[in-house]
Amino acid sequence: MSGGHYQYLSCNIRELADAIQRELNENFMEEAYDWSSDGKAYDRLSDVPEGERIFVFEAIQKLQKRLKRVAKQAHALEWFLSGDTGYMDFMKAMAKKQV
């Protein structure tokens, strides 16, 4: 009964959501650069028209929120399948509207 039925893979989903959130918090719209292996910075949004960048940003925000919700649900599944919680706890987690 360890809660890690899938070797805690739900934590990977949560870590991805957290990493995306950190990047969104760090002036994503102004400093959307990616460092290549040659040490140069490239603007990840350079091919997105200026007026469309807000829609890209909003899409990434929505994805981050979905990943956070899925991570919580996957965590509930791991606990349920490990015998740490009952099926009702799992079903509540699946039905809960989470941000």
pLDDT digits (tens, 9 = 90+) for 37-92: 666 666 677 788 888 888 988 999 999 999 999 999 999 999 999 999 999 999 99
pTM for this model (two decimals): 0.78
Rg (CA), the chain: 18
Q: Give the other-Cβ count within 10 Å of 80's Cβ.
A: 20
43 φ, ψ (degrees, to nearest 5): -75, 115
